[in-house]
Structure 1
């Protein structure tokens, strides 16, 4: 309350999109509810996540429905910008919008692209870019390869330069403070781990950390009590430093998922 931090809770739209986007009464009601909640709870705005949900429903392939989706984001941004923050009358309520990364080398029809970014410039105050979760139990590997991060930024902003810099300051490059423990043979496939899990594995197995140059991440291998082999990818000072440098080179900010999941010394870099 005494500092400059803003509080923007994450709101995820999981309802059937056409109930929300295609019906003006429902759309207006949803926006009204969000603005009212910000006023009552003295929030400074919201972080809105909906694009991945809309893509899952398959509506973003239709140009008309895609325009309806973009228009909804503009409407909610305009509504928030029309209200002053309770804690700072000079500050309007803000909208940060969550963007998922592309999942192929060419932008697909449902992907959020440069035209979408420019169309929402006035309505959105920042874009939280989810540059993590590159690998999964079915395809074990690094959490967020550096080259993939660069590709994602270039897909949105174009080649580094003046044109990219015009909107780069609104991008919050995602950096993961969690890791993954993947099984390489047998078992359930593994999944996410937090800092305390990582420390426990280091203490128990005393593995050798290895540097994967192409991805810019450390990992280690171990065998559990059932003789199942594992690969653990977890952030280190070096991997975080490289990603902070990448953000700096593009002129973006950063977003961390999640700040309490990391190790205390990560804050030395921030």
Structure 2
């Protein structure tokens, strides 16, 4: 048999062992391979979060910078508190990675995440009800971003604010003030040619509304991009982390039901496209492992553990793993047994990432990745 025929047969074999026949062996042998690191395939924007506690993300960001438009490092937190019994103070705490900033300054736009933490209900209500404090906070964030030379800010305060207000009187009324707070911050940023993005929870079936279509519309004039947290779907019982059918329903709920009847057909399509481009489909680079509890309770029969790429490799190496592609969710399910107990894991594969990229292309949205340092290099093949 000549060399041409051998190469042809090898090509056919590789083609046949693609998404339908993912195996433990090909994950172990291919997870750290990306054949086109300098070519971006996805036509939309890509935002990637990175964290200091998964430092591999810094290396991936630099290595695959051609595929990334925005980086949001999780370096800073915002604390709001009262001093002297009446005066509100707002601290921006944390420290950036100067080496990474210097190495990446010409590669992509950096918008650090600022997360709202260590703030009680009374202090947050004061902030929401005070125009002066909102202006002061907006100026503080703007000046901080300018002083560091960043392109803008990623605000992670919507879900945190909802949590702070969970047991507050008039919480829906105060939530409307939360919209105004974010509008003020973003208006200040944009007036200084800085970008303003926020993270928002994805709508969940049979669950309280954490972020509504109306709130999206009120913020869309001020916020450049919305990073949709379309993962963490199954945290109590075994199930997919980011099922594709759920993601599709999120976009229907947030955008497809917006009333555009006042526009002609062409203008309505343009507005719909504008809204979709503001949204960034959340793609997880991590997964979950579910183990049966010795003593199940009324809430769950399983313990849940978030797992990174390194954790997942150890599971594959140490256990006889069964691999299934769940076409209803477009995710792979992994399972193995310890005695009579079945342990189940859902972790992204290259095929799952490819599926989400195709969906984002179809929806005409961007992609936001949580988070770089937890995943595998072959995930970047699809981007």
The TM-score normalised by the length of structure 1 is 0.87
Q: Which of 203, 217, 225 does residue 102 from structure 1 map onto? A: 203
Q: Which of 112, 119, 125 does residue 18 from structure 1 map onto? A: 125
- 1:167/1:4 CA distance change after superposition, 3 Å: farther
Q: For residues 238-253 of structure 1, what are the structure 2 equivalents within 5 Å?
A: 238-253=351-366
1:204 is the counterpart of 2:315: no
Aligned position for 2:273: 165
Aligned position for 2:184: 75
Q: How big is the alpha-carbon RMSD for the aligned residues of Structure 1 and Structure 2?
A: 2.3
Give secondary structure in 2 for the equivalent of 1:128: strand
Aligned position for 1:174: 282
Give secondary structure in 2 for the equivalent of 1:31: helix
Aligned position for 1:86: none
Give secondary structure in 2 for the equivalent of 1:120: helix
Give secondary structure in 1 for the equivalent of 2:109: coil
Give secondary structure in 2 for the equivalent of 1:97: strand
CA distance in 2 between counterparts of 1:61 and 1:149 reads 31
Higher normalized contact order (CA 8 Å, seq sep 6+, divided by chain length) = 2
Aligned position for 1:32: 139
Question: What is the CA-CA distance between 1:185 and the residue it aligns to?
Answer: 4.2
CA distance in 2 between counterparts of 1:61 and 1:241 reads 44
Aligned position for 1:184: 292
1:115 is the counterpart of 2:209: no
Q: Deviations over 1:110-152 (max 9, x none)?
A: 432222222222211000000000011x222110111101111
Contact 2:134–2:184 under 8 Å retained in 1: no
CA distance in 1 between counterparts of 2:151 and 2:187 reads 14
Question: What is the CA-CA distance between 1:229 and the residue it aligns to?
Answer: 2.7
CA distance in 2 between counterparts of 1:116 and 1:246 reads 24
Contact 2:237–2:290 under 8 Å retained in 1: no
CA distance in 2 between counterparts of 1:40 and 1:251 reads 34
Give secondary structure in 1 for the equivalent of 2:173: helix
Contact 2:233–2:243 under 8 Å retained in 1: yes
Contact 1:11–1:49 under 8 Å retained in 2: yes
Question: What is the CA-CA distance between 1:250 and the residue it aligns to?
Answer: 0.8
Structure 1 or 2, whichever has the larger Rg, is 2
Q: For residues 228-247 of structure 1, what are the structure 2 equivalents within 5 Å?
A: 228-247=341-360
Contact 2:162–2:175 under 8 Å retained in 1: no
CA distance in 1 between counterparts of 2:157 and 2:291 reads 32
CA distance in 2 between counterparts of 1:256 and 1:2 reads 20
Q: Which of 140, 144, 147 does residue 245 from structure 2 map onto? A: 147
Gaps of 5+ in 1: 84-91
The TM-score normalised by the length of structure 2 is 0.63
CA distance in 1 between counterparts of 2:359 and 2:230 reads 12
Aligned position for 1:89: none
CA distance in 1 between counterparts of 2:308 and 2:170 reads 36
Q: Which of 175, 178, 194 does residue 93 from structure 1 map onto? A: 194
- 1:94/1:41 CA distance change after superposition, 3 Å: same
CA distance in 2 between counterparts of 1:124 and 1:269 reads 28
Q: Deviations over 1:13-46 (max 9, x none)?
A: 2323213211234323322221121011111111
CA distance in 1 between counterparts of 2:169 and 2:279 reads 22
Q: Which of 213, 229, 237 does residue 130 from structure 1 map onto? A: 229
CA distance in 1 between counterparts of 2:169 and 2:109 reads 31
Aligned position for 2:158: 51
Question: What is the CA-CA distance between 1:249 and the residue it aligns to?
Answer: 0.8
CA distance in 1 between counterparts of 2:218 and 2:160 reads 20
